Structure 1
Amino acid sequence: MAEIFGILNITTDSFSDGGKFLNPDDAIQQGTKLLQEGADWLDVSGQSSNINATLVSEEEEWRRVEPVIRYFVPQGVRISLDSFRPAVQKKAIEAGVRCINDISGFTYEGDRSFFKPAFEKHPGLKLIIMHSHNKNIAKYKSDLTPEKVVRKIQAFFRDRRSELISMGIPEPALHYDPGMGFFLSEDPMVSFRVLQELEILKLEFPQLMVGVSRKSFLGNVLGNLPITEREFVTLACELHLLRYKIPFIRTHNVLKLRQAEKIWNLCQEME
């Protein structure tokens, strides 16, 4: 059974739900809903990473996520922080966050000397290394092609794994997200090639996290399907992730994925 990370964007400009949960009470209500629907983790973000996002200050990013973290952590809820800024990551770990999901793959400039003592104190801490063609907020003008994308991702993961282990981080703590949609390329076939070759990535990096929820590449191959109409295509893609036994799936709609997972598993038992 996959561990599901329920997406909780506390931002003004996330591509799917920007502005909906900026108020702390609304964010807590949405987080509670995701947990009730079956989320194993809340993946909380105060900085949007979509292609049209605006960078906010570190102080503003932390101001957005702090009330949610402080509300859920004492209840034993597992929180993942979606942030690429070391200063924000440090505050989150100190506040009880036990997973850092970094779209830069931990390449963003900053002091990470806090990682080693953090892992000594909290051995269950996880780091998710995400690949992006520009190592930051999604951008246009990627040079990735379907033919070379998986090799590029593998090389990036190897480099980041080596550096993080050299910093004293235990290898089992490292998880890997190939990035999808504009994190790879505006060409949707680049993302589909990654999905087609998940077994290759899993062979070397079994601790894979994949998030396809409502992504542009799903809509683009169907004639620019609007975001509001991408629920079924998202679910079709997430069933593909279940088929390949991807251990961690990041999604907006936890309930639909949990329901589909149950039916999928029952169908497999019948074979």
Structure 2
Amino acid sequence: MPQFLQCGRYGFDLDTGTLVMGILNVTPDSFSDGGRFQSLEFALSHAEEMIANGADMIDIGGESTRPGSPAVSLDEELRRVIPAVYALRGLGKPLSVDTYKAEVMREAVLAGADMINDINGFRAPGALEAVSDSDCGLCVMHMQRDPGTMQQNPGYGDVVAEVTDFLRQRVDEMVAAGIDRKRICIDPGFGFGKTVEHNYALLRNIGTMQQELGLPVLAGLSRKSMIGAVTGKPVEQRLAGSLAGALAAVAHGARIVRVHDVAETVDALKVWQAASTN
């Protein structure tokens, strides 16, 4: 099935290759790089560096959603995110905003965001209304409970079936709200209310989800605890494991990978794709 994704000013034929989404956290407490890119100047510099290294899009996050993280106020998230969108929108690459707040979505779209990446699956009151009349791309993710409680004994009968059913229901509601399916991609939500075993079951079954829902899959495994659980390495030493995870996701059918280490991921994908070409 041909794969296409419309992201605001940009359209992507996902049958021609994998998109690399570079992570830009403008927060003081991200699990991986909290505080490093909080100032607008450093955020712009890092975004430029990721684009120079081959990033196809930049994902801006103004609220940490690591396990156990506290919520950030609407005003604070707007203060962090919206200036960054204005500062980065002229870089020539799609800008994604990672938020579950409807008002942040609305303001981000007005500021020029090309995608909204929602860990809450556009379930918050007003979320669908905030994006339905735009042309931005929409990434709908699965999460069990919320960031503060999601890793407290997560449980499923069949994690692949349940996550797929959740995403199907969310996509159906989005389409019913008038949203074109070409604007939607899906994310199984690695690390968001899942055990290590759940995460790897989902990783192995990315192709199943893609085929059942007929939508491109975005995979975000970079530096996460599922990598550390296998390698025994702390966050700052998970590059090799993250690269392996990204390649495994692509091998199983992911069309977008969300990563911290753009240059290394781009190189790994080039070699993998060259080796995979008949």
Structure 2 segments unaligned to the other structure (5+ residues): 1-16
In the alignment, structure 1 residue 166 sits paired with structure 2 residue 172: no
| Number of the residue aligned with 1:8 | 24
> What does 1:74-85 align with in structure 2 at a 5 Å threshold?
74-85=90-101
Partner of 2:90: helix, strand, or coil?
Answer: helix
Distance (whole Å) between structure 1 residues aligned to residue 253 and residue 202 of structure 2: 15
Counterpart Cα distance in 1 of 2:149 and 2:143: 7
Kindly state the Cα deviation for residue 81 of structure 1 after the two structures are TM-superposed: 0.3
Partners of 1:102 and 1:138 lie apart in 2 by 17
The separation in 2 between residues aligned to 1:12 and 1:45, in whole angstroms, is 11
CA RMSD of aligned residues (A): 1.7
For 1:47, the equivalent position in structure 2 comes to: 63
SS for the counterpart of 1:217 is helix
Partner residue, 2:224: 215
Instruction: State the match for 2:254 in structure 1.
Output: 246
- Residue 208 of structure 1 aligns with an amino acid whose one-letter code is V
Matched, 1:260 2:268: yes
Give the Cα–Cα distance (whole angstroms) in 2 for the partners of residues 72 and 12 of structure 1: 19
Distance 1:106 1:151, change over 3 A: same
Task: Tell me which of 193, 196, 206 is aligned to 1:184.
Answer: 193
> Which of residues 76, 99, 107 in structure 2 aligns to 1:91?
107
Indicate the larger mover: 239-248 or 228-237: 239-248
Counterpart amino acid of residue 142 in structure 2: H
Match of 1:116 among 125, 132, 144: 132
Question: Structure 1 pair 258/47, CA: closer, same or farther in 2 (3 Å)?
Answer: same
- 1:68 deviates by 1.8
Q: How many Å separate the matches in 1 of 2:148 and 2:178?
A: 27
Deviations 1:133-162 (A, max 9, x none): 1155662224434x6111111110111112
Asked if 1:64 is matched to 2:76, the reply is no
Any gaps of 5 or more consecutive residues in structure 1? none
Say how many residue pairs are matched.
Answer: 261
Deviation at 1:222, TM superposition (A): 3.2
Match of 2:7 in 1: none
Name 1:140's counterpart in structure 2. Answer: 151
With normalisation by structure 1, the TM-score equals: 0.91
| Identity value in percent | 30
Superposition TM-score, scaled by structure 2 size? 0.89
